[in-house]
Amino acid sequence: MSEATKRHREETRAPVLAARNVVRRFGGLVAVNDVSFDVRAGEILGLIGPNGAGKTTMFDVLAGSILPTSGEIFLNGARVSGEAAHLRIGRGLGRTFQIPRPLPNLTLIENIMLAAQGQAGEKLLANFVTPWRVATQERAARTKALELLELVTLTHLAHEPARVLSGGQRKLLELARVMMADPAIILLDEPAAGVNASLLEVIIDRIRDINARGITFLLIEHNIDMVTRLCHRVLVMASGQLLSEGTAEEVARDPRVIEAYLGGAA
């Protein structure tokens, strides 16, 4: 199959997540200015740009942490522009954060189990009326949590409190926790930040493994080497606008990107 044919097939895949003419203002500041793009099913899409470009605000709008001033967000074809973050999780959108904040006194397995969706035991009455159902779901959640800990290479710490983890291990735990909700797409906020080189390789491998299962990724990242190695396409934002789109090599050659990052220096 030719590269042109492959690219055509990728470009015609239905988007899992789509932004259409998104604007987000904070008073007189326009943090995101008329941004539109698609995240295609099965891809790893990078979102890069200099500090203050509007990347994190765009992530917050996509995740439902804040609502757009105008424009539309679509998730698996459904308009979700006005929906809160927890409703988007139920639709298959997961998100990690630049600084993970697990519950420090709970074990790793307990932290992951908290992310299980649709648990009967969350309703007080069910614990008395259908305790067998609650127990069955809890056993299944524990089994799944252990499988996810194995996926992120943290099985040996399953019953340790989360406070013992390093920064890189917390990123891996958060990845396992978001997987517990069975997402179709995961928004990754700077997965390389504060991570040592050896654990960064583990994180890159785990993202690839999860993507191979059919899960889509959109990631913000300043580590350009990681973006180049992982991402099928790259979006570049600057001053709240979408500046460039293409492969990592294509955007690196774009004079507008060079200008945004280096002030015109070659």
- Confirm whether 240 is domain-assigned: yes
Measured distance CA(40)–CA(11) in Å, rounded:
8
Same structural domain, 209 and 224: yes
- Return the closest-CA partner of residue 180 out of 136, 124, 123, 118: 118
Mind spelling out the 3-state secondary structure of 128-145? HHCHHHHHHHHHHHHHHH
Same structural domain, 218 and 158: no
- Confirm whether 36 is domain-assigned: yes
Both tokens of 254, joined, read 């774009």
pLDDT in tens, 167-218: 999 999 999 999 999 999 999 999 999 899 999 999 999 999 999 999 999 9
pLDDT in tens, 25-81: 999 999 999 999 999 999 999 999 998 999 999 999 999 999 999 999 999 999 999
- Return the closest-CA partner of residue 190 out of 209, 213, 167: 167
The residue-averaged pLDDT of 91-117 equals: 92
Instruction: Please provide the average confidence, as pLDDT, over all residues in the chain.
Output: 89
Query: What is the pTM (predicted TM-score) of this model?
Result: 0.87
Three-state secondary-structure class, residue 220:
strand
Same structural domain, 189 and 160: no
Helices and strands in the chain, H and E counts: 11, 10
The residue-averaged pLDDT of 144-153 equals: 96
Domain that holds residue 86: 3-98+184-262
State the pLDDT at residue 115: 87
- Confirm whether 178 is domain-assigned: no
Conformational region of residue 15, where left means phi above 0, alpha means psi within -120 to 50, and beta covers everything else: beta
pLDDT in tens, 112-137: 999 886 655 555 555 545 564 656 77
